[in-house]
């Protein structure tokens, strides 16, 4: 069964200087908090990352001024990450391995390099988008990570209102990656106080009772019985996209967990669906798991390039 063995968290620095932890935008704050919640039980190592854009001399008047600003920004970003580490993993709590890294360049590239070509590393980052995920994902850091990262990717979108308990919708096609999705949902629910809703879309004429039984077989491989809020199983008949979106709406979901359908990193995230058809409609966070044997389309030397 799939397990996360390392977490890399992308953190966007505040828009206003001087940078300070209290000024971090809500998506980054939530991404850090939930990443540490997921990591806590298994003592999973966490890497906090801030990727700063390369400065342009045109912004500051000269290359010397740009270099000085870059040094100041790196120092400030490193201080913010250090504050986060102290807040969530103080030194007195032994067993928690937390690294802080500041890089210069494109966010998706540096997050990927730090995560490495490993299927067991979870990348977490936030989005400021206030509507659907359309604007933040298409042609952006989020979409590149979802399509190319060898391991799972969690795009965190803060809910409109803070909830005591979150709702997770886990989508299974009853295949191996669907089993991993259910396992991940149950594991996360036990750490972030969430209710779990499992969805499998059945084709017209299918034996719903039989399919429901198969979902429960996948569920039985987890420790779902330890969840205080229980698990709800939904096996609606209809188009997968429509069934999932309906389940998300009815549950007022905070997070949707789904599996990719391709091992090449090119096609969409669900069998019979594409990123362009499903993700633009989602109003919540998304966690995508890759199938066993997933092959990223990035060239081999991508992982070995030396970065600053």
Predicted confidence at residue 142, as pLDDT, reads 81
In the chain, what are the domains?
A: 6-156 (3.40.50.620), 166-289 (3.40.50.620)
Contact at 8 Å (CB) between 184 and 170? yes
Give the global pTM: 0.89
Closest C-alpha among 146, 220, 209 to residue 182: 220
**How many whole angstroms separate alpha carbon 86 and alpha carbon 280?**
36
User: Phi-psi region for residue 195, left (φ > 0), alpha (ψ -120 to 50) or beta?
Assistant: beta
C-alpha separations of 127 from 15, 85, 284 in Å: 14, 21, 10
pLDDT class of 110 with cuts at 50, 70, 90? very high
Q: What are phi and psi of 120, to 5 degrees?
A: -100, 10
For residue 103 the two structure tokens come to 């890089």
Cβ-based neighbour number of residue 21 at 10 Å = 18
Closest C-alpha among 270, 238, 267, 266 to residue 170: 270
Predicted confidence at residue 267, as pLDDT, reads 41
C-alpha separations of 25 from 19, 29, 253, 286 in Å: 11, 6, 22, 19
Quick check: 287 pLDDT over 80? yes
pLDDT class of 93 with cuts at 50, 70, 90? low
Quick check: 264 pLDDT over 70? no
Predicted confidence at residue 172, as pLDDT, reads 93
pLDDT class of 1 with cuts at 50, 70, 90? low
Predicted confidence at residue 302, as pLDDT, reads 82
Quick check: 132 pLDDT over 80? no
Predicted confidence at residue 59, as pLDDT, reads 59
If you ran DSSP here, which 8-state letter would residue 93 be given?
Answer: S
Per the model's pLDDT, the better-predicted residue between 180 and 265 turns out to be 180
Beta strands in 91-185 (DSSP E): 98-104, 121-126, 153-156, 166-171
Residue with tokens 């004429």: 205
Q: Ranked by mean pLDDT, which of 91-100, 101-110, 268-277, 296-305 comes out on top?
A: 101-110
C-alpha separations of 225 from 53, 94, 106, 192, 212 in Å: 46, 30, 43, 16, 17
Mean pLDDT of 47-75: 82
Q: What are phi and psi of 256, to 5 degrees?
A: -115, 125
Predicted confidence at residue 232, as pLDDT, reads 95
Closest C-alpha among 194, 182, 180, 274 to residue 234: 182
């Amino acid at each position: 069964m799939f397990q996360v063995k390392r977490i890399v968290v992308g953190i966007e620095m505040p828009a206003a200087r001087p940078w300070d932890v209290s000024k971090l935008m809500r998506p980054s704050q939530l991404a850090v908090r939930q990443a540490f919640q997921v990591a806590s039980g298994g003592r999973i190592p966490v890497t906090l990352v801030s990727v700063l854009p390369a400065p342009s001399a045109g912004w500051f008047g000269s290359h010397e001024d740009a270099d000085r600003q870059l040094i100041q920004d790196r120092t400030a970003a490193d201080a913010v990450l250090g504050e986060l580490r102290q807040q969530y993993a103080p030194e007195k709590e032994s067993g928690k391995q937390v690294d802080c890294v500041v890089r210069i360049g494109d966010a998706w590239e540096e997050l990927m390099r730090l995560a490495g070509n490993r299927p067991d590393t979870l990348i977490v980052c936030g989005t400021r988008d206030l509507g659907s995920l359309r604007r933040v994902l298409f042609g952006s850091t989020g979409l590149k990570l979802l399509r190319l990262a060898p391991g799972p990717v969690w795009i965190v979108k803060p809910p409109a209102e803070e909830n005591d308990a979150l709702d997770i919708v886990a989508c299974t096609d009853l295949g191996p990656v669907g089993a991993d999705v259910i396992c991940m949902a149950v594991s996360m629910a036990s750490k972030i106080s969430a209710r779990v809703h499992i969805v499998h879309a059945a084709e017209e004429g299918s034996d719903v009772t039989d399919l429901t039984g198969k979902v429960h077989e996948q569920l039985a491989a987890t420790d779902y019985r330890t969840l205080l809020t229980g698990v709800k199983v939904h096996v609606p008949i209809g188009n997968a996209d429509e069934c999932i979106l309906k389940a998300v709406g009815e549950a007022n979901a905070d997070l949707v967990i789904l599996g990719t359908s391709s091992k090449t990193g090119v096609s969409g995230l669900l069998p019979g669906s594409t990123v362009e058809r499903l993700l633009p409609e989602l109003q919540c966070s998304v966690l995508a798991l890759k199938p066993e044997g997933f092959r990223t389309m990035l060239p081999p030397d991508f992982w070995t390039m030396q970065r600053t």
